[in-house]
Copies of this chain bind each other. A is one copy, B any other.
Amino acid sequence: MTRVEPRRPGGFAELLPGEQIAFNAMLSTIRDTYEKYGYAPLDTPDLERTEVLLAKGGGETEQQLYSFTREGSKTNLTLRYDLTVPLARYVAEHETELTFPFRRYHIGKVHRAERQQKGRFREFYQCDIDVIGSDSPLIDAELPAVINEIFDAFNFGEFTIRLNNRMILTGFFEGLGLRDVSAEVLRVVDKIDKLSSEVFVSELSSVGLSDAQISRVRDFIAISGSNADILQRLKTIDIPSEQYHQGIEKLSAVVAALAAMGVPESRVRVDLRIARGLDYYTGTVYETTLNDYPEVGSVCSGGRYDNLAGYYTKTELPGVGISIGMSRLFSKLREIPGLISIDRQSPAEVIVVPISTDQQSYAIELAAMLRKAGVPTVLFADDVPMKKKLRFADKMGFAYVAIVGDDEMQSGTVSLKSMETGDSETFTKDDFIVRLQK
C-alpha cells in the first residue's frame, strides 16, 4: 500500500486528549456563563458568500482570506474570519424573525491565513457575546460582568477589565480641532504601549499635530487615579464638544452599573488609552488582561457599535459585543508551568477492570450502576494481562482503579486501588457509589 504522510496543513493546531479535555472545560465555563445571563446560542455556516463577507471591506484581514470558487459554481465562497460579520448578515437576513434586544453567543472557529509563526493560528476559536438592538448602558455593563464571572471561575488569578468610551477620545480630539484626523490619532493612541515616547510623538506629528496638541493628547491619556477620580477629572476639562461630555456620562453610567452588578472595583479600570483604533467601535470599548500574566496580552476585548448591519439593511441596529479568543488564550496559558493540568486523558472518573473474563458480567453491571449514579466510567474491555490493564489506567491518568476479581464478584464488592500508593480498599457496591459521587 502506498502511504501518505499524515500531517495537517501548516498553521493548523490540534490538541491531544488531555489538552482537549482542559480546553473544553474552559469552553464549558464560557458557555454556561453566557447561558446563565440568557444569551441564546447561535451557529452560522463556516462559509459565507465572499461579496457578503466583504461588504464593508475586510481591511487588513482581506489579504488573509480563504476564498475560492468551486469548479462548476459561480459563487465565490470564503471561510469566515470573525463571528461579527456573520452576525450582522444573520441579523439582517432574519430581522423579522428575531426578537430585539437580541442577546446571542457564538462559540466557533474562524480562519485567517496568517503568516506562519509561533502563537499565530490560521484556525482558531472565538467565543463571542453580543446584544443587538439596545443602547442601554446596563448592557454595556452586562458584558464585562459576564466576563468577570468567567475569569473568576477560570481561577487564573486577578485580572483587569479596562474600559473607555470612544466618544470621549473623538470628542476630545474634536475639541482640539483635530476632527479630520481623529481616526489617525486614535490609531496612534491605540498603539501607545508598543511605541517609544519618541516614535509616539513623531507619529502624531506626521499626522499633523502641533507640539501643543501632542502635549495635550499625552497629558490627557495619562490621566490616572481611581475610576471616580478619572471621571471627575474628565468633567473639569474644558472641551467644547457635546460628544465628549456625552461620552463621560455614558462611561460613568457603565462604571456605576458594574458596581451595582457586584463586579469588584479592583477589576474595573477606566483607561483613556484603550482606543481599539482599528475597529468599528463607536462607544464603550473593553480590553481584559491577566494581572499575573501580562505577557499573555489582551484576553478579551470588544465594544459598542452604532450600526451593526448597515451594509445589509436600512434598519439601524446598535449593538455591543465582546469576544474571548480561546485558542490563543489556551496556548499562552499552556506555556505557563503548573497552570493548566492535562493529566486526565479521559472524561471518566473511574475505570472498572475485571481481573479476567470470568468477572466481565459483574464488571459490566458495576460500570452501568456507576454511570446511572452519574459517575462517568470506563469499562476495560480487552482480555490482556493485568499488568497491561493497570498500565493503561496509569497512562490515562486515572488516580484510582476499581478492580473486580472472583472474591469481589462473590461478595458483591469492589476493590479500589490507588495508582499512586498501590493501596487497595474494599467497598460494597453501594458504599463505593456514595464514595465516588463525592
Which chain A residues numbered 89 to 119 have a C-beta less than 8 Å away from chain B? 89-90, 92-94, 97-99, 101-104, 109, 111, 113
- Stretch among A38-46, A163-171, A239-247, A413-421 lining the B interface: A38-46
A260 at the interface (CB under 8 A from B): yes
Q: Which residues of B contact A13 (CB under 8 A)?
A: 45
A360 at the interface (CB under 8 A from B): yes
Beta-carbon nearest neighbor of A100 in chain B = B392
A8 at the interface (CB under 8 A from B): yes
Bin chain A's interface residue count: 35 or more
Whether the Cβ atoms of A17 and B368 lie closer than 8 Å is no
- Stretch among A207-215, A216-224, A265-273, A346-354 lining the B interface: A346-354
Whether the Cβ atoms of A38 and B8 lie closer than 8 Å is no
Beta-carbon nearest neighbor of A309 in chain B = B6
A35 at the interface (CB under 8 A from B): yes
Whether the Cβ atoms of B4 and A55 lie closer than 8 Å is yes
Whether the Cβ atoms of B364 and A260 lie closer than 8 Å is yes
Whether the Cβ atoms of B123 and A39 lie closer than 8 Å is no
A154 at the interface (CB under 8 A from B): no
A residues lining the B interface (CB < 8 Å): 1-10, 12-17, 20-21, 24, 35-49, 51-52, 55, 66, 68, 70, 73, 75, 77, 79, 88-90, 92-94, 97-99, 101-104, 109, 111, 113, 123, 134-136, 138-139, 142, 257, 260-262, 309-314, 345-348, 351, 360-361, 364-365, 368, 371, 376-379, 381-383, 392, 395-396
The 4 closest A-B pairs by CB, nearest first: A38-B348, A68-B68, A38-B378, A6-B312
Question: Please, could you name 12 A-B residue pairs with CB atoms under 8 Å apart, sorted by A?
Answer: A3-B311, A4-B52, A6-B312, A14-B43, A14-B44, A17-B42, A17-B102, A20-B43, A40-B345, A66-B77, A138-B381, A262-B368
